[in-house]
């Protein structure tokens, strides 16, 4: 695989379209930032003079905070805006908001939006770089990258690993980005969900489909649990939370068939007792959940670094 030294797109809108070499480049640079974040001096000036604006139209703890920390640790000026306190409340459109921020010479916008495709739309109109912080049920590329980094650091590789992604696949941008990344890197990916929470187009991802959790996690190296995205559900997808946990909640009994040292992941926020039992979520020998959060800052530093490296050749297509 030829090594990449930069990303081919000026934006990071999804995992779709990234080559294995580009994914390796992002993960390798993230390793550098993991070291820096663990050292006494967490601050550098590679983004000095740059302006980053986080525009989050949906709730977020981990993603927004880690992008802010990432930007600040690299020496950028970072601003957060949210719709509740912006002119969106006065009826301004998404694109007008984005163009306004672009006119202030932002270098990079990080955007989260409830509609799939909204972030791409912005990227087509602005001059600055755009990073997708999660768009609807479509993609969440930095989450998949941080998940891959956490796995690679523990198990030394992605290729050939059996990864079971379990829960609300239908509404999950985390699942989509992870399926794309893990397949690109040669992992054996399984998805586990009730039929009502399995996307109709799941065949296009080249993953194995299971409806029984114990069966889906059998001999898995990694068990990745997903939150039930009730805010995206219009109608009833599960009979009750108690029944969902009974069949699809990860507990010791259902985990028993996975590899003896299988690792448990969850992107957060977790709903304990809905998709995961506290007993397994808090098992320090098996759970990667806190490490995922740590990796999130490093991965976002790598993304910001690579996307702002040479702004003279790194401009969007807009006017
Ligand atoms: C995820 C998201 O927003 O897509 N959270 C995150 O970014 N860590 C998953 C979720 O909301 O369940």
The answer, yes or no, to whether any atom of ligand 1 lies below 6 A from the CB of 134, is yes
Go through the chain and tell me how many residues it has. 319
The per-residue pLDDT for 238 is 84
DSSP at 9 = S
The per-residue pLDDT for 319 is 36
The answer, yes or no, to whether any atom of ligand 1 lies below 6 A from the CB of 173, is yes
The per-residue pLDDT for 88 is 73
**Nearest atom within ligand 1 for CA of residue 134:** 4
The per-residue pLDDT for 156 is 98
For residues 245 and 271, the answer to whether their CB atoms sit within 8 Å is: no
The answer, yes or no, to whether any atom of ligand 1 lies below 6 A from the CB of 143, is yes
CB burial of 88-110 (b: ≥16 within 10 Å; e: otherwise) equals beeeeebeebbbebbeeebbbbb
For residues 110 and 52, the answer to whether their CB atoms sit within 8 Å is: yes
Residue nearest ligand 1's atom 7 by CA = 63
Say how far apart CA 281 and CA 227 lie, in whole Å: 13
Alpha-carbon distances, residue 13 vs 51, 129, 196, 269 (angstroms): 19, 10, 28, 22
DSSP calls for 24-84? HHHHHHHHHHHHHHHSS-----TTTT-EEEEEESS--SHHHHHHHHHHHHTT-EEEEE-GG
**What's the gap in Å between 267 CA and the centre of ligand 1?**
6
**What's the gap in Å between 236 CA and the centre of ligand 1?**
21
Tokens of 243: 């029944």
Residue of 175, 172, 210 whose CA lies nearest to 190: 210
**Which helix (DSSP H) or strand (DSSP E) does residue 149 occupy?**
helix 141-155
What is the longest distance spanned by two Cα atoms in the chain? Answer: 57
Tokens of 4: 């990449």
The per-residue pLDDT for 316 is 44
DSSP calls for 294-305? HHHHHHHHHHHH
pLDDT in tens, 73-116: 999 999 999 877 677 777 788 899 999 999 999 999 999 999 99
For residues 316 and 126, the answer to whether their CB atoms sit within 8 Å is: yes
Active-site amino acid positions = 62-63, 90, 112, 140
For residues 199 and 209, the answer to whether their CB atoms sit within 8 Å is: no
**Nearest atom within ligand 1 for CA of residue 63:** 7
pLDDT in tens, 190-222: 999 999 999 999 999 999 999 999 999 999 999
Say how far apart CA 198 and CA 82 lie, in whole Å: 31
Q: Whole-number mean pLDDT of the chain?
A: 94
Tokens of 182: 């893990």
The per-residue pLDDT for 1 is 67
The low-confidence residues of the chain, meaning pLDDT below 50, are 312-319
């Amino acid at each position: 695989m030829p090594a990449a030294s930069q990303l081919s797109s000026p934006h990071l809108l999804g995992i779709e379209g990234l080559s294995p070499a580009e994914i390796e480049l992002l993960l390798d640079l993230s390793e550098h930032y993991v070291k820096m974040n663990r050292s006494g001096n967490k601050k550098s000036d590679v983004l000095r003079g740059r302006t980053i604006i986080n525009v989050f139209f949906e709730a977020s703890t981990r993603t927004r905070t880690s992008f802010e920390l990432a930007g600040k640790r690299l020496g950028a000026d970072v601003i957060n805006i949210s719709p509740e306190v912006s002119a969106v409340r006065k009826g301004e459109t998404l694109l007008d908001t984005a163009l306004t921020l672009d006119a202030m010479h932002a270098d990079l916008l990080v955007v989260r939006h409830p509609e799939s495709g909204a972030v791409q739309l912005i990227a087509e109109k602005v001059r600055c770089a755009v990073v997708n912080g999660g768009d609807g049920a479509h993609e969440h590329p930095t989450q998949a990258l941080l998940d891959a980094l956490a796995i690679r650091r523990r198990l030394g590789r992605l290729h050939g690993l059996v990864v079971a992604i379990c829960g609300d696949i239908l509404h999950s941008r985390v699942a989509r980005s992870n399926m794309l990344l893990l397949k690109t890197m040669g992992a054996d990916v399984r998805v586990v969900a009730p039929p009502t929470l399995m996307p109709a187009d799941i065949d296009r991802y080249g993953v194995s489909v299971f409806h029984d959790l114990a069966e889906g996690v059998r001999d898995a190296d990694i068990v990745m649990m997903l939150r039930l995205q009730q805010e995206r559900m219009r109608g009833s997808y599960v009979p009750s939370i108690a029944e969902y946990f009974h069949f699809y909640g990860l507990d010791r009994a259902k985990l028993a068939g996975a590899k003896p040292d299988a690792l448990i992941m969850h992107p957060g926020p977790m709903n304990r007792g809905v998709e995961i039992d506290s007993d397994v979520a808090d098992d320090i020998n098996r759970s990667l959940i806190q490490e995922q959060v740590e990796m999130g800052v490093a991965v976002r530093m790598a993304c910001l670094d690579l996307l702002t490296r040479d702004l003279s050749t790194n401009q969007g297509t807009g006017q």
